[in-house]
Chain A
Amino acid sequence: MTDLSTNYLGIKLKNPLVASASPLSKNIEMAKALEDAGIAAIVMYSLFEEQITHESNALDYFLTRGNESYAEALTYFPMFKDYNIGPEKYVRFIADIKASVNIPVIGSLNGVSSGGWIDYARKIEEAGADALELNIYYIPTAGDLTTNELEDAQVELVADIRSQVKIPLAVKLSPFYSALPNFAGRLVAAGANGLVLFNRFYQPDIDVQTLEVVPSLELSNSYDLRLPLRWVAILSDQLKADLALTSGVHNEEDVLKAMMAGAKVVEIASELILNGPARATEILTAMEAWMVEYEYQSITQMQGSMSHRSVAEPAAFERANYMKALQSFDRRINYPKALQGD
């Protein structure tokens, strides 16, 4: 019998397939379907402090704007006793999902202020989340913000949250750090139990007709796996923390690659959004079949088997790989005849 189970953040999971933070977790019925399809854990969609702050300010602004200006219309809206502004709705939803499924549920949080991060993290813990994924989604645009300042602040944040909550913490990172291994190590030292590689940003596009910047979010494809795959391979040897690979996991082979590189789990969303939760069953079945065929007994057996240090040529994950790839690409270019040598 092939053993698909894995350990992630100190939690034993029946297999390494985790539903990543996405709209998939906005609906209890969907969560149940994911569980039924074999998904081992669910990461909730992210709670964005910035959004809550924005909604709160916007509500206040629009309820107040124009008030007390003209004697006949001192206000424009009826009084409400209460609003669901704030993390409460999200927190309630975690509790609801927890009550509806038997697999672990991992909260996901994107804060702005350190107070917000800590406060919301505590609330998510209180709601019964089995772990918390910190979604450090931040685009540094200020020219005077140094790498050190940014990294110090994020490390401090993780330490602060670690000191306030007891559930396991994972940190979801962007790939854009100058010295990722060092930074990753600092996060782990600050108390992160795991890292999720990597965050998939909303990449704005430009509409050349309207001359407007338009938000867009493309679903991933298997090619996107390459970036996290490399870094999982590099980091899995160095860190005493569990790694989750996310971005580009679409089939059983992608999962196997992730495990071999050293990930404890993969987080998957695009494939399930495209093809429905039942796709998880197909991937798991195919994985198991592959493992049977190639005589792997367990997932743990393959985890890290092709990490940076485990492979015969570690340089394959390094710069040489880049050079080689470029050369091979060069051969594929169709040069105009005039530029071709005789």
Chain B
Amino acid sequence: MSNKITIDANEAVARVAYRVNEVIAIYPITPSSGMGEFADAWSAQDLKNIWGTVPLVAEMQSEGGAAGAVHGALQTGSLTTTFTASQGLLLMIPNMFKIAGELTPTVFHVSARSIATHALSIFGDHSDIMAARSTGWSFLGARSVQEAHDFALIATAASLKSRLPFVHFFDGFRTSHEINKISELSEADMVAMIDDDLVYAHRSRALSPDHPVLRGTAQNPDVFFQAREAVNQYYDDCPQIVQDAMDKFAELSGRRYHLFDYYGPQDADRVIILMGSGAETVEETAKFLNHKGEKVGVITIHLFRPFSVKHLMAALPASVKSIAVLDRTKEPGATGEPLLGDVISALFEGKALGIAPFEQLPVVIGGRYGLSSKEFTPAMVKGVFDELKKDTPKNHFTIGINDDLTFTSLMYDALFSIADPRTTRCVFFGLGADGTVGANKNSIKIIGEETENGAQGYFVYDSKKSGSVTISHLRFGPGDIRAPYQIGIGEANFVACHQFNFLERLDVLKYAEENAVFLLNSIYGPDEVWKHLPEEVQEVIIARNLRFYVIDAYEVAQKTGMGGRVNTIMQTCFFAISGVLPRDEAIEQIKYSIKKTYGKRGEAVVEQNFAAVDHTLANLHQVKVPLVASSEIQRRESVSDKAPAFVRNVLGPMLAFEGDDVPVSALPHDGTFPTATSQYEKRNISLEIPVWDEDICIQCGKCAFVCPHAVIRMKVYDKSYLSDAPETFKAIEAKFKGVPGTKFTIQVAPEDCTGCGLCVEVCPAKNKSKVGLKAINMAPQPPLRESESRNWDYFLSIPDIERADIETNTVKNSQLLRPLFEFSGACAGCGETPYVKLLSQLFGDRTIVANATGCSSIYGGNLPTTPWAVDSVGRGPAWSNSLFEDNAEFGLGMRLTVDRQTEFANELVRKLADSIGSDLAEEILGADQSTDAGINLQRDRVKELKQRLASDSSRDVKQLLSLADFLVKKTIWIVGGDGWAYDIGYGGLDHVLASGRNINVLVLDTEVYSNTGGQASKATPRAAVAKFAANGKPLPKKDLGMIAMAYGYVYVAKVAMGANDAQTLKAFKEAEAFDGPSLIIAYSHCIAHGIDMRKGLEQQKLAVQSGVWPLYRYNPDFIALNRNPFNIDSRDPSIPVEDYAYNETRYRMLLQSDETRAEKLMDEARGDVSKRWELYKQMAAMDYNTAKKNEEE
């Protein structure tokens, strides 16, 4: 009897891949990162493979690099693998052609994901698989967690035997992240499947100077073609080799697979053909329909390449009359999607060869479904089967969306359900921060591993990194749970809402079926809660006869020291009410699981969670439900009715988790969206907000400077604006030199604040009578929400200061500029966004941003709402994200346009000087645009030029009018994280810096790949632990600034605003002013450092004081002035490195797990700091005064 485990597919695959390989090259990309993380952690723990040795896991700088390393390791005889998805797989394609051309066995495990087109998506479909299908690799597709586990082994065995490399793929998120109960393969199974003789054969083909060969020749027209055809037999043999491996596997495990698995009656008239998780949905739906008397079948394609016509023909029932081929991809302009083409071609060929089971070719239609993890439900499957009944079914259809533009979509009954009455279905709404998902993962493991039930968990997250909503879908019941789709409307027996305020904005109970249980975390007790529920909620509770329970989990959490984490408490309630296990046993299991999960972190944590469990049940109450709804509270609209129509009609439903209903016609065709939309999403995620104490304030502007979410603003204005100000609006006499206006206000946006507290931490003004208070202090938000919202609206109505009217060379003055980056979904207290916001304030009216994929592209460009904003006249940063790897080049391209178009516009101005007026033309051509005032004047000139030329329709004038805006200065900012700048995009960055062009690069250096969950980059410092550096990084951080300085003509600055805000400001202004390439490397504290984010700025200060992060500026303009271009802006290190480092979990956790190694690495890290400091000091001391030297000579 095999061991049952309840895990997700990433782990299920990694458990096999790790054991049957010797070298593993990794690089993070969602949703495959988990596989690499497991491999790296196991390797760090010295876990051995089936041959008794520990695989070598190496992180590369990109997927292209990983593929290259894999290629090299394979060529020298290692069993090698990698894990990837989407753009990562695309970057591997060149090597994949080579690896296949050289008949090299390997398996790449791919969690299939959308490829970025009009937008990036991290979610699942087959567009990456299809893009790689011409590489000559075999493609084996799994449709479930169990199959992914099994196929990881089958693919490896078949690859060794066939000598063809395999892509083993499964659906990103839907399968990679679904937790399901599976049978675990034993080491004996793996040993039995992997033939050691084939391993020896692989090694014998390796490159070795002991028996040298040459591989990778260049060939010419005479033989290339023939040599290419020499591989045919391998492809001909491969399908049977895979089937043989599947058969052998069946003998070992009892689980039987085929290249094309047919389910359905032998007299089926309609068949759907597809691959991936959707096939399981089709199969389960077909079973249901056949039970009702229909004759439908499904063919699951497991082996997509080599595509075996013979095996497909053998699988199809002779009775089939119509076939729908479903593709989880889109290939615009093709005759159909790839699978459709393959099937049609196979049917014709099968017929021609006489191996088709039918006399007459069936009708074949193709359709698209499930792009970017769009739900694919039994209702949709039924829609397709129903379509196949028609005489002329729709071809090239879509299913699951409303295409009201080209009318491709099939209609279907969305409420059709095949939900098994024996299965329990539970939906939980939680906050990311409250631990709901973690608890549910735990619950499903308990159920899977401690009961006979099948169990499944799938988790949906929203697009924000702070205050994000999570929805957990849990199913359990007798037999395997084969339902790779979310729990549908009206299908849940149990709905839990872990945050009371969700009821105000989300339709939580739409999932509840009749008589379901509704569990609510509520500060109101069983007698009080009813009147606090929105009317819509009351109505559903009554209409569906819900059993309604409440618990004040916040109180239990507070009393038991759990803080805001209600996970264990709500989990206990779930077990107590659901009855899946007897209560006592459930509690015993929860405690066992707590011990298992938290035990290694110390007894205190375990005890705290135990206490939470023990205090829960006494606080759980059933609510007596009245007969009628009586609430005066209604659910709120997701956006204000004052928002623009696009925001209301498109972004609004997305915010309410109703985006699936948005029709095709409502969406931009080319991925172009309006900016400045985050202002309409009032998230109200913080229980506390800063409150300004105007009596204490010294008007330094630091609070606004560091605010990551641009919710603290300041204005200087004329006192006349106070005449109709709200009663609670605060103002004091302004203390700003040379700034027009006499009144000053600091205002907080109460509904947009995330409550991070950085403003309070940075405030230098203490209340002299009570030093615990400052000029800005946190206070509960709810009582202030209404009045401060009014104040905020009023504040916005006061005109912004004209940027040309002030000098922005001080921190306080800079903060009078309106942020054109506001209310992003970044983590509360984010260390990156204050820099981005500063950039937007200083240069936003003339900036185009090229943004590398990563945190900054996600909080900067992830729908529904986005933070890049506009000023009062509608100007603001224009923003785009191309890829992860090409951002520097992308930005350079923008610069090339600006340079070329500006030059062309200048040429035209010269040419048309007579029409323009020679004075104006000269002024335009000779304009000094080095200041905001200069730029403003030029804008006026260009406006005048346009007016003067408006009536002229000559070709040159038309050309000039279309380019005239380029006569006004444009600034290019290339923004990205360290993963981009130090690793994947480094080659491009280097080239762009070397180009000499006037571009500005801002590296938001968090020292890890933050967006994908904290994997090490070359920016990761020595001694820090990160994913992919689980033993602590053994080598020092790359000195990117030093490399850039080596060019001698690149402006370089290293900044940390928490240590020196004035230096940061200076560096930004100098970088933009420098007429050439500029690079700013900005210390960005990060949640991935494991710090109290409120202390992020303090950590920046300590980083600088310890010498870990020296501040400097390198200005090449000084060289011509005989001055040393390198200036160190921080003092000699004054505290030990560990006084900085050991405040951070990333360093501490190594000390807490392997003290000896931690001390060794810390010792080396100290050495890194002192060596670098000495070097910098020498550089800063160099004498550049060549004139003086010449004189002396």
Q: B601–A63 contact, CB under 8 A? A: yes
Which residues of B have CB within 8 Å of A68? 432, 435-438, 441, 459, 461, 470
Q: B1012–A81 contact, CB under 8 A? A: no
Q: Is residue B766 within 8 Å, beta carbon to beta carbon, of the partner chain?
A: yes
Q: B1013–A59 contact, CB under 8 A? A: no
Given contacts A63-B1090, A78-B44, 13 further A-B contacts (CB under 8 A): A53-B604, A57-B561, A67-B437, A68-B432, A70-B463, A71-B123, A73-B1012, A74-B1013, A76-B1090, A77-B1027, A77-B1088, A81-B45, A84-B1155
Which residues of A have CB within 8 Å of B603? 56, 86
How many angstroms between the C-alpha atoms of A79 and B1155 in the bound complex? 17
Which residues of B have CB within 8 Å of A315? none
Which residues of A have CB within 8 Å of B436? 68
Interface stretch of the complex, out of B62-70, B729-737, B1144-1152: B1144-1152
Which residues of B have CB within 8 Å of A85? 600-602, 1152
6 shortest interchain CB distances as A-B pairs: A69-B432, A56-B602, A68-B437, A85-B602, A73-B1013, A62-B1090
Which residues of B have CB within 8 Å of A78? 37, 40-41, 44, 1025-1030
Q: Is residue B843 within 8 Å, beta carbon to beta carbon, of the partner chain?
A: no
How many angstroms between the C-alpha atoms of A57 and B609 in the bound complex? 11
How many angstroms between the C-alpha atoms of A60 and B1090 in the bound complex? 10
**Contact A62:B1145 (CB < 8 A) given known A81-B600, A82-B600:** yes
**Contact A69:B433 (CB < 8 A) given known A52-B604, A84-B1152, A86-B603:** yes
How many angstroms between the C-alpha atoms of A121 and B880 in the bound complex? 62
Which residues of A have CB within 8 Å of B1090? 62-63, 65, 76-77
Q: Is residue B343 within 8 Å, beta carbon to beta carbon, of the partner chain?
A: no
Q: B461–A60 contact, CB under 8 A? A: no
14 A–B pairs (Cβ distance < 8 Å), ordered by A: A52-B604, A57-B608, A64-B435, A67-B437, A71-B173, A73-B1011, A73-B1012, A76-B1014, A77-B1090, A78-B40, A78-B1028, A80-B41, A81-B600, A83-B601
How many angstroms between the C-alpha atoms of A57 and B1091 in the bound complex? 13
Which residues of B have CB within 8 Å of A66? 432-433, 465, 827, 1087-1088
How many angstroms between the C-alpha atoms of A57 and B30 in the bound complex? 30
Which residues of A have CB within 8 Å of B1152? 55, 59, 83-85
Most interface-central of B1013, B1026, B1030 (chain A CB within 10 A):
B1013
- Interface size counted on chain A using CB atoms at 8 A: 37
Which residues of A have CB within 8 Å of B1010? 73
Q: B1091–A62 contact, CB under 8 A? A: yes
Q: B1014–A73 contact, CB under 8 A? A: yes
Q: Is residue B1 within 8 Å, beta carbon to beta carbon, of the partner chain?
A: no
Q: Is residue B353 within 8 Å, beta carbon to beta carbon, of the partner chain?
A: no
Q: A72–B858 contact, CB under 8 A? A: yes
Which residues of B have CB within 8 Å of A72? 30-31, 122, 858, 1011-1013
User: How far apart are B844's CB and chain A's nearest CB, in angstroms?
Assistant: 26
- A80's contact among B123, B561, B1153, by CB below 8 Å, is which? B1153
**Contact A56:B1014 (CB < 8 A) given known A76-B1087, A79-B41, A83-B1153:** no
Mask for B999-1016, Cβ within 8 A of A = 1, else 0?
000000000001111100
Which residues of A have CB within 8 Å of B1145? 58-59, 62-63, 77
Q: A57–B604 contact, CB under 8 A? A: yes
Which residues of A have CB within 8 Å of B601? 56, 59-60, 63, 83, 85
**Contact A76:B37 (CB < 8 A) given known A83-B601, A83-B1153, A211-B766:** no
Q: B470–A69 contact, CB under 8 A? A: yes
Q: B605–A77 contact, CB under 8 A? A: no
Q: B1014–A67 contact, CB under 8 A? A: no
- Using CB atoms, name the residue of chain B closest to A84: B1152
User: How far apart are B124's CB and chain A's nearest CB, in angstroms?
Assistant: 11
- Using CB atoms, name the residue of chain B closest to A113: B607
Q: Is residue B598 within 8 Å, beta carbon to beta carbon, of the partner chain?
A: yes
- Interface size counted on chain B using CB atoms at 8 A: 65
Q: B602–A70 contact, CB under 8 A? A: no
Q: A83–B432 contact, CB under 8 A? A: no
Q: B1030–A80 contact, CB under 8 A? A: yes
**Main DSSP-derived SS at the A contact region:** loop
Q: A55–B465 contact, CB under 8 A? A: no
Q: Is residue B290 within 8 Å, beta carbon to beta carbon, of the partner chain?
A: no
How many angstroms between the C-alpha atoms of A208 and B915 in the bound complex? 70
User: How far apart are B338's CB and chain A's nearest CB, in angstroms?
Assistant: 27
How many angstroms between the C-alpha atoms of A145 and B969 in the bound complex? 70
Which residues of A have CB within 8 Å of B433? 65-66, 69
How many angstroms between the C-alpha atoms of A232 and B1159 in the bound complex? 42
User: How far apart are B71's CB and chain A's nearest CB, in angstroms?
Assistant: 27
User: How far apart are B475's CB and chain A's nearest CB, in angstroms?
Assistant: 19
**Contact A69:B41 (CB < 8 A) given known A52-B604, A55-B602, A85-B602:** no
**Contact A59:B602 (CB < 8 A) given known A69-B461, A71-B122:** yes
User: How far apart are A216's CB and chain B's nearest CB, in angstroms?
Assistant: 16
How many angstroms between the C-alpha atoms of A82 and B1010 in the bound complex? 24
Q: B600–A71 contact, CB under 8 A? A: no
- Using CB atoms, name the residue of chain A closest to B768: A211
- Using CB atoms, name the residue of chain A closest to B1013: A73
Q: B40–A60 contact, CB under 8 A? A: no
How many angstroms between the C-alpha atoms of A84 and B1151 in the bound complex? 8
Mask for B464-489, Cβ within 8 A of A = 1, else 0?
11101010000000000000000000
Q: B600–A80 contact, CB under 8 A? A: yes
Q: B602–A86 contact, CB under 8 A? A: yes
User: How far apart are B1108's CB and chain A's nearest CB, in angstroms?
Assistant: 19
- Using CB atoms, name the residue of chain A closest to B38: A79
Q: Is residue B771 within 8 Å, beta carbon to beta carbon, of the partner chain?
A: yes
User: How far apart are B498's CB and chain A's nearest CB, in angstroms?
Assistant: 12
Mask for B1129-1155, Cβ within 8 A of A = 1, else 0?
000000000000000011011001101
Most interface-central of B461, B600, B602, B1026 (chain A CB within 10 A):
B602
Which residues of B have CB within 8 Å of A82? 600, 1153
Most interface-central of A79, A80, A89 (chain B CB within 10 A):
A80
Which residues of chain A in 64-112 are interfacial with respect to chain B, using CB atoms and an 8 Å cutoff? 64-86, 89
- Using CB atoms, name the residue of chain B closest to A86: B602
- Using CB atoms, name the residue of chain B closest to A71: B461
User: How far apart are A20's CB and chain B's nearest CB, in angstroms?
Assistant: 25
User: How far apart are B41's CB and chain A's nearest CB, in angstroms?
Assistant: 5
Which residues of B have CB within 8 Å of A79? 37, 41, 1030
Which residues of A have CB within 8 Å of B123? 71
- B1013's contact among A55, A62, A65, A76, by CB below 8 Å, is which? A76
**Contact A60:B598 (CB < 8 A) given known A69-B465, A78-B37:** yes
How many angstroms between the C-alpha atoms of A62 and B1087 in the bound complex? 9
Q: B464–A70 contact, CB under 8 A? A: yes
Most interface-central of B433, B601, B1029 (chain A CB within 10 A):
B601
Which residues of B have CB within 8 Å of A75? 1013-1014
Which residues of chain B in 899-918 are interfacial with respect to chain A, using CB atoms and an 8 Å cutoff? none
Which residues of A have CB within 8 Å of B1029? 78
- A57's contact among B31, B605, B1148, B1155, by CB below 8 Å, is which? B605
Which residues of chain A in 16-32 are interfacial with respect to chain B, using CB atoms and an 8 Å cutoff? none
- A84's contact among B31, B1011, B1153, by CB below 8 Å, is which? B1153
Mask for B534-565, Cβ within 8 A of A = 1, else 0?
00000000000000000000000000010101
- Using CB atoms, name the residue of chain B closest to A73: B1013
Which residues of A have CB within 8 Å of B1028? 78
How many angstroms between the C-alpha atoms of A313 and B603 in the bound complex? 54
- Using CB atoms, name the residue of chain A closest to B608: A57
Which residues of A have CB within 8 Å of B858? 70, 72
Most interface-central of B438, B464, B1145, B1146 (chain A CB within 10 A):
B1145
Mask for B12-47, Cβ within 8 A of A = 1, else 0?
000000000000000000110010010011001100
Which residues of B have CB within 8 Å of A71? 30-31, 122-123, 173, 177, 461
How many angstroms between the C-alpha atoms of A67 and B600 in the bound complex? 18
How many angstroms between the C-alpha atoms of A60 and B603 in the bound complex? 11
How many angstroms between the C-alpha atoms of A72 and B463 in the bound complex? 10
**Contact A83:B438 (CB < 8 A) given known A63-B1149, A76-B1013, A78-B37:** no
Q: A56–B1153 contact, CB under 8 A? A: no
